[in-house]
Amino acid sequence: MYALTSSTHNGKRVATEVAEAIVAVLDALIAPRVFYVRLLNKGLDEFSAVETFFREVVDPSVEDLGYEPCEMGLGLNEYAWMNQAIFDSLHHSQAVVVDLTGLRNNCFMEMGYVLGNAQRVIITARNGTQIPFDASGIEAYLWSEGDHRLDLKTGFVDHWKRNANRPPLVKPRGLL
């Protein structure tokens, strides 16, 4: 734990310790981040429904839960290679919402990455999505376009609360 001081006290404290303490305070002030893994191709039929679900249900729910949404294609890109940006964001997010609507290979790859890292994963899909066998055993929140937005939000938040802290798929070796 860092001592919360913003002064070197005339050289009695090492400047790097002061800098580390300031960074720790700033980190504590920044809302934890939720990364979105979802269909982003505007040319596909499912895009409009997925976009509406995320903007009207997931975004406000995530914010109400105290998190900051993080999604590729929004905001500044500080990486030369998009995959580096994706995996860095995935790795450093406190939770990940994976929507499997459209059954995109990249979404399964990114979901596998966060499951393997024992991170918080919330899985969603539009009702009617045929989730493959390996992923179908993990509870997913199935949403429908025709449902009332408040019902969708309530269902999503309930699903989050039931699943955000589930144990990892693989128990670390050496632990009983």
Q: For residue range 118-132, what is the model confidence (pLDDT) as tens digits?
A: 999 999 999 999 998
CB-based contacts of 160, cutoff 8 Å, min separation 6: 61, 65, 122
- Please state whether beta strands 33-37 and 68-70 pair in parallel, antiparallel, or not at all (unpaired): parallel
**Quick check: 158 and 63 in contact, CB under 8 A?**
no
Considering the entire predicted model, what is its pTM?
Answer: 0.78
pLDDT digits (tens, 9 = 90+) for 74-110: 656 676 667 777 888 899 999 999 999 999 999 999 9
* Per-residue pLDDT at 158 exceeds 80: yes
pLDDT of residue 31: 80
pLDDT of residue 17: 83
pLDDT digits (tens, 9 = 90+) for 25-63: 766 667 899 999 999 999 999 999 999 999 999 999 999
**Taking every pair of C-alpha atoms in the chain, what is the biggest distance, in angstroms?**
66
Tokens 């269902």 correspond to 155
